[in-house]
């Protein structure tokens, strides 16, 4: 399961950072997930909770922020697609299709996706 291995990675990172800071607990974690990352946040959070059980991160509040996709073009145009309606962005498949059909608003050329696939641990709040 994709989300489970990602949750493992996040958990290991969180624990490493907590240890570096001699933390007694992890209060909150903020993740940034690209809308094109093919990650199901519910599954990710569920996997994380399972992993964190019995650890100092067991009570951590996990927040998820979504990163809108961005595109760039050979002409130098780059933009973020944050004006996509939730309806369009409802499923990853339709979002990917939507972007694939997009032409550069400047030159009409074919754009490529330059962002929106990331998974980043943005902040970790620990208890000393
Ligand atoms: Zn262009």
pLDDT tens-place string over residues 17-31: 999 999 999 999 999
Residue 53 is classified by DSSP as T
The alpha carbon of 102 and the centre of ligand 1 are apart by a number of angstroms equal to: 11
Which residues, 6+ apart, have CB-to-CB distance to 65 below 8 Å? Answer: 30, 31, 32, 33, 122
Same domain, 23 and 39: yes
The alpha carbon of 88 and the centre of ligand 1 are apart by a number of angstroms equal to: 23
Same domain, 91 and 63: no
Has this prediction a pTM greater than 0.85? no
pLDDT for 96 equals: 73
Total domains present in the chain: 2
Residue with tokens 């964190």: 52
**Residue 70 contacts residue 82 (beta carbons within 8 Å):** no
Domain containing residue 7: 2-68+116-127
The alpha carbon of 14 and the centre of ligand 1 are apart by a number of angstroms equal to: 40
The alpha carbon of 99 and the centre of ligand 1 are apart by a number of angstroms equal to: 14
Same domain, 20 and 35: yes
pLDDT for 81 equals: 81
Task: CATH number of the domain at 11, please.
Answer: 3.30.2320.50
Give the mean pLDDT of 88-116.
Answer: 79
Residue 119 pairs with which residues in a beta bridge? 33
């Amino acid at each position: 399961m994709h989300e489970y291995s990602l949750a493992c990675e996040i958990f290991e990172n969180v624990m490493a950072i907590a240890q570096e800071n001699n933390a007694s607990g992890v209060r909150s974690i903020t993740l940034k997930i690209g809308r094109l990352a093919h990650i199901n946040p519910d599954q990710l959070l569920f996997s994380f909770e399972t992993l964190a059980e019995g650890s100092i991160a067991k009570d951590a509040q996990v927040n998820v922020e979504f990163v809108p996709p961005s595109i760039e073009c050979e002409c130098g145009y780059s933009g973020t697609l944050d004006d996509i309606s939730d309806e369009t962005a409802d499923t990853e498949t339709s979002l990917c299709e939507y972007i694939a059909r997009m032409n550069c608003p400047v030159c009409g050329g074919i754009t490529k996706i330059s962002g929106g696939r990331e998974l980043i641990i943005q902040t970790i709040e620990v208890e000393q």
